[in-house]
Amino acid sequence: MADNKSRSWEVSDEFWQLVEPLIPAVKRSPGKKYKRKAGGGRKPLPTRQVFEAIVYVLRTGIQWKALPKEKFGSPSAIHRYFQEWIQKGFFKKLWKKGLAEYDELEGIAWSWQSMDGTYVKSPMGNGDTGRNPTDREKKGSKRHLLVDEHGVPLSIVVTGANKHDTTQFAAVLWHKISNKKDVQQNLCADTGYTGE
């Protein structure tokens, strides 16, 4: 008997209908004629296949290069799409749309919010990392997260591990994806966020 439950990385038709309009269009150079020679080059990957591959990586934690090529296509091409979509703000738009829908269905609990940060090792990190003060100064980053009282993420800021919480307090509040101004809002944060 087949199991009707979908896996956490599978994209349903219903979800895809919400996502597809937000996918960035492929930008072509104006005036340039694009003519594909018979058998030449690779056909572009279908955007749904690319999105499903990205969701697969994010949900399973698998490395990009370990993506099953027979199911999703070239892992390097998928990663290239991922980077391009980040630059074009696709994931932020998707997050914003998801929050709006959640607010409509369940309601974001605006009255109490919580902020905290956590260190993440980044041994191969680039300029966005910094010496981690709690891990023998190995390279790392820090994620500062703001959630509503039910744990729904409203903001995230990623910095080098050497950035103190007090320096990111305003940035986390500033980058809130959504806000409701006619409700009194309270904030809980650990002592790391106190100071000048």
- Convert the pLDDT of each residue in 99-119 to its tens digit: 999 999 999 999 999 999 887
Summarised one tens digit per residue, pLDDT across range 50-102 is: 999 999 999 888 899 999 999 998 999 999 999 999 999 999 999 999 999 99
| Mean pLDDT calculated for residue range 150-159 | 91
pLDDT given for residue 154 in this prediction: 94
Rounded-to-integer distance, Cα 70 and Cα 42, Å? 15
Sequence spans of domains, the chain: 8-25+44-107, 109-193
pLDDT given for residue 2 in this prediction: 41
Nearest to 187 by CA among 157, 147, 159, 153: 147
The yes-or-no verdict on residue 49 having pLDDT over 90 is yes
Rg (CA), the chain: 20
Give me the helices (H) in the chain, please.
Answer: 13-19, 47-60, 69-72, 75-87, 90-105, 165-174
> Which SS3 state, helix, strand or coil, does residue 166 take?
helix
pLDDT given for residue 34 in this prediction: 60
pLDDT given for residue 90 in this prediction: 95
Answer whether 24's CB lies under 8 Å from 94's CB: no
What pTM was computed for the model?
0.75
- Please report which confidence band the pLDDT of residue 163 belongs to, taking 50, 70 and 90 as the band edges: confident
- Please report which confidence band the pLDDT of residue 130 belongs to, taking 50, 70 and 90 as the band edges: low
> What average pLDDT is seen over the chain?
83
